[in-house]
Amino acid sequence: MNSPEGRSALEKHIFGITDDMEIERKSSEGGLLPDKLGDEDLSFEDVPPPPSKMKTTSDLFRMAIEAHEAGNYADAELLYRKLLSERPNVPSAWGNLGVLLRRRKMTEAAVICLRRGLALRPDDGTSWSNLGNALRDLCRYDEAVKAHRHAIDLDPGAPQIHYNLGLVHRDLGHLKEAEGCFRRAELLGYDSAELRWDHALLDLLKGDLEQGFEGLEARWQLHDCHPHFPEIPIWKGAPLEGQTLMVYAENGIGDSLQFCRYLPLVQSKAGAIVFYCDPSIKRLIQSSPEFEGVEVYGFDDALPEDIDAVIPLMSLPRMVGAKSEDIPNRIPYLKAPDTDVPILNKGLIPQIRVGLVWAGDIHHKNDHNRSIALEQFAQLLDLPGIQFYSFQIGGAESQIKDHCFDPMIRDLSAHIRDFADTASLLNQFDLVISVDTAVAHLAGALDIPVWVLIPFAPDWRWQMLRGDSPWYRSMSLLRQTSPGDWQEVMHRVRDRLIHKLHEITDIGED
């Protein structure tokens, strides 16, 4: 195996940091590294032939590696392709191109390239593990397990391969096996922040919140995660009498809505509490009585100058109590303000009003697993007695007209300026059906019934197997039973909706 020294992880995933083993630095010829290419917009044909002193395979290969390691992925891809067009039998070039394409989210092509390299050099444990990583991205978990196990057969002393296998076991819900793989990686000397981070996510997925939140502090050692406001002291839990503590949101809006419940628990620890958050939830937090006395600032606001200590929001549970029984359960803890959103008319016939959200932020690293195409909901739309509304924003709401679903789904996006508006609209609904997005958290925080559609490999907060959530009493979790299979989930959603309609009809007849 090649030495990992000087190499950063090539991929961070919402469920963990899958570790491509190494960029292969050897080719069939010697040579020194030259300059990198320039413009990312160069086409394949634009790549100039190397000057006469750089005609070897090794010259092109090392140029590609230099661009790859510098993060110039477009340049590196052009160079790997140039090399392979001239010398298609260089296995390490196929392997590196596969690693790069995976980094650029071209995962199907990455799998093909890695297999091409392995066909030329089938005894390369590193490439087998890289193949396992790419297969994991495609939710082809059984194939990924086989690839990693084959890699271990070839190189049993490589700790990163055990770590990578552990990630796949975690996705499959094999938590004991994942724990064993992570422990084995540690025993073999893999002492990395990435492993500690993923071990923390495993603990949280198991429901061991105390151990998990403690382990999440390893995020500050990750190469792409840095504390905000490094010039201000981090709060360690000591009382700050007469001083100001700022709690800042560090992740997505869903995390902010889930964990803002901890803010009242630290109000007695300081003279003043400042919450620094996304502007889209500022008005909502300010209007909620639970946060009376908390000064709320949006990311676009100028902060007060007299801040004495800071702490990230996700670190609050470990400061005030992180066991499951310590979860603050004053629900609802958010309250919609008076706003000018429309009052919805149920119409003359008895109906239940159901809100839908099918897509999250496209920039979310796991969006390809958690978001659903709107047509998956088609089997629900013919149910009589239900009026569907869309809370979708961000562009995916255009799918309503694209599929001619606008007679069945009323689009509310024009009435939504921020999450205060969303909350005011949600208060008029009997049920929300949502993928794992901020709207699902908001419905739970408002104590509105919400069914959350969960992918096969869930985010840590939803734990494993259970159909309820320890975070929200009005929430039900409907999980995929096999990777990528949303149709089976939708069959269960339809059955539950029919049952709900029957319940309402029976009550009406009484």
Q: Return all residues near 481 (Cβ < 8 A) that are at least 6 apart.
A: 456, 488, 489
The answer to whether 207 and 182 have CB atoms below 8 angstroms apart is: no
For 387-416, what is the mean pLDDT?
95
pLDDT tens for each residue of 292-347:
999 999 999 999 999 999 999 999 999 998 888 999 999 999 999 987 888 887 66
Rounded CA gap, 451 and 436, in Å?
Answer: 10
pLDDT above 70 coverage of the chain, percent: 87
Predicted local distance difference test score (pLDDT) of residue 322: 86
The Cα 414–Cα 377 span in angstroms is 22
CA 483 → CA 139, 169, 299, 347, 489, distances in Å? 6, 13, 37, 39, 11
Q: Could you read off the pLDDT of 150-192 as tens digits, one per residue?
A: 999 999 999 999 999 999 999 999 999 999 999 999 999 999 9
- Coil, strand or helix at 321: coil
pLDDT mean across residues, the chain: 88
Bridge-based pairing of strands 352-357 and 270-277 is unpaired
Cβ atoms 380, 405 nearer than 8 A? no
Contact 257, 445 (CB under 8 A): yes
pLDDT tops 70 at residue 8: no
pLDDT of residue 6: 31
Strand, coil or helix: what is 352? strand
Question: How does pLDDT run across 336-382, given as a tens digit for each residue?
Answer: 998 788 888 766 555 899 999 999 888 777 888 899 999 999 999 99
Pairwise pLDDT comparison (38 vs 141), residue with the higher score: 141
Task: Give residue 510's pLDDT.
Answer: 46
For 202-264, give the secondary structure using H, E and C: HHHHHCCHHHHHHHHHHHHHCCCCCCCCCCCCECCCCCEEEEEEEEECCCCHHHHHHHHHHHH
Distance, in Å, from the CA atom of 128 to the CA atom of 145, rounded to the nearest integer, reads 10
Q: Is the pLDDT of residue 140 over 50?
A: yes
Tell me what pLDDT residue 277 has: 98
The count of C-alpha atoms lying within 13 angstroms of the C-alpha of 158, restricted to the half-sphere facing its C-beta, is 27
Collapse the DSSP code of 297 into the 3-class scheme (helix H, G, I; strand E, B; otherwise coil) and give the result: strand
Greater confidence (29 vs 361) lies with 361
Torsion angle of alpha carbons 43, 48, 50, 55, nearest 10°? Answer: 70
CA distances from 440 to 224, 253, 263, 335, 463 (A): 28, 11, 20, 15, 16
Residue 23: the pLDDT is 56
Find the mean pLDDT for residues 44-57. Answer: 49
pTM here is: 0.86
pLDDT of residue 506: 64
Res. 225: pLDDT tops 80: yes
pLDDT at 7 over 60: no
State how far the Cα of 128 lies from the Cα of 144, in Å rounded to an integer.
9
Which residues 6+ apart lie within 8 Å of 363 measured at CB?
A: none
Res. 25: pLDDT tops 90: no
Q: Which helix (H) or strand (E) holds 420?
A: helix 419-426
Q: Using CA atoms, how far apart are residues 176 and 206, in angstroms rounded to an integer?
A: 10
Share of the chain above pLDDT 90, in %: 78
* Amino acid 368: pLDDT: 81
pLDDT at 28 exceeding the cut of 80: no
